[in-house]
Chain A
Amino acid sequence: MARTVTTQRKTLNTALAWAVGLLIFFPIFWTILTSFKTEAQAIASPPIFLNFEWTLENYAIVQERSDYMRFLWNSVIIAGGSTVLGVIVAIPAAWAMAFVPSKRTKDILLWMLSTKMLPAVGVLYPIYLLFIQLGLLDSRGGLVVVLMLINLPIIVWMLYTYFREIPGEILEAARMDGATLKEEILYILTPMAIPGIASTVLLNFILAWNEAFWTLNLTAVDAAPLTAFIASYSSPEGLFFAKLSAASTMAIAPILILGWFSQKQLVRGLTFGAVK
């Protein structure tokens, strides 16, 4: 018997969802608002909400002081490159685990996930030394590989979950029709898992975009992405909150827009298989 939901209940749920959404978005909103204030207005107590003279001065200063486009381009290359590379490596791995599982598949999946529990700083020196030896310091290529490896467990896990929802019989039928392994993955499995792959790509792009530990420690000038751009405006001795907010807004704007346009895909992918 279908459960009936009263209008009152629906309204309450909607209001609650909006309240939670606004609460989560509020820090971002406040950052954007602060970026249009003067430094004095930014630290005013009680805080000024909307009643202030809006200024673009902070954006002008940030633009003049930093080469924003260079940081942005590096972020796009590093986040995009690591995501694409990660998906290329993860699709065959997830296929194997989903359709040809062994006794140890579950253990391997858990072990992969456990590597995410290692504090990054614990391997900073070994990776830094490797980067020196390979000449990869301050290179986008090096960061693409590191971020791909860091996010790989999540990519494999997500794809594995999506692939498990696809009936194995379909792949068997393809095999009986003479499809090779490559054709099976490329032309049968991948198109069927597009929503899952899309949400995996989006989520990992966001994770790589926001990654701050490795991008700050392994870059200097040539490969520095937007995380380094933001870090250059943070100061423990001096109140530069308005400028920092302008820099943060410029750094998150591309990913906010991307998230806004792809939210349907993202939600569908993330809730895939959650309700049966």
Chain B
Amino acid sequence: MKTFSIGGVHPAENKLSAGSPIRVAGLPKQAVFSMYQHIGAPAKPVVKRGDMVKVGTLLGEAGGFVSAPIYSSVSGKVSKVDVALDASGTRRMAVYVDVDGDEWEDTIDRSPELVKLADRPELDATTIVEKIKTAGIVGLGGATFPCHVKLTPPPGQKADCVIINAVECEPYLTADHRLMLEHPEETLVGVQLIMKAVNVQKGFIGIENNKPDAISLMKEKAAQYPGIEIVPLKVKYPQGGEKQLIDAVVGRQVPAPPAIPINVGAVVQNVGTAFAIYEAVMKNKPLIDRIITVTGKSLQQPSNLLARLGTPFQQLVDECGGLPEDTGKIIGGGPMMGKALISLEVPMTKGSSGLLIMNDKEAKRSEPQPCIRCAKCVSACPMGLEPYLLAAQSARQMWDEAEKNDIVSCIECGSCAFTCPSHRPLLDNVRLGKSTVMGIIRARNAKK
């Protein structure tokens, strides 16, 4: 069975919510829409206090090409446009909407019927990309990179295949798994749309073989969609990393930055993104909700919720039985790459793939011990880096040396820190080094 070639680790899977069907979460009393829900320029608020909005009303327009608009997921009145605490842990510009009823914009088609690509022959690549751009779709795997940018290859570059990331290699998370089980056809139409947008004939959907039900169902359904192939993959973290997935599925290596997947002819999108693209193009529905896994060993009812963006995490936790008493850490995202939250006031954003409640025993980090030079981090690193060295260089502020050792190639997957028997905070230091070195490189390029 296929998998990526370098490094990788095997964290305990803990897919507690794999068997629980997607539930629709209730409407919040107040929804908060951060203007920073994607990578790139923040959205610019276009509403003001007192404005009435419906589900699907534009709240913030894209702040540039690498940016995405933000739509209201609720109907009601804008109570203020002010800073709000978001998942990044800082206060940033957001729009607050007091919810009143559930009125949708008329343009959105809310019927559940499947619309196939053959039903809409007028759609061409430009229209699809334009619709995706207008709908504010970003990579829903967690990186939140604006989708239309990836579907607009730079001049001279041509993709020859689309790879759909349905591996869900993060432990605990099951949102993509449930999506494939409950909306397989919509997802496949979404994949077709992506293929049409970048004008390729071949699409692969990579699924890890810890989801046999999803693999067999998707294989069965994909038979009717020519060009789409389901690729079962061996379970290994971080297979969901863009470069790792390309390596696993088509066996191509993406060179070190600034090279991007399109340089090896691949366009990678998350399976959740494919579903959102289907809804945006076929149903005219902007990105206003997503599936989020709310899970944890002590949580009463680990669930997959279809929740509106802007819903405070507190409400989602309440719907799953409330915050357990032994909570040690709350993580936005999965346990490997997610970010600890400082408060449950934080609203859900486009990138919220999971909400993990760790109990105090799991959450406790062990005291770091001296490095014993076992090189486990080196063999675990999926990018072939030397994490112990990069961490030491970052801690000593040796930025030039860290740059020479390719610190910017780090994908921050955390395999090094996970595997370290001395519990050294390797990723903490490498991440600091990476952001500093990237700042230095940007400054240097700006000078030129």
Q: Real complex partners, A and B?
A: no
Chain A residues with CB under 8 Å of chain B are none
Chain B residues with CB under 8 Å of chain A are none
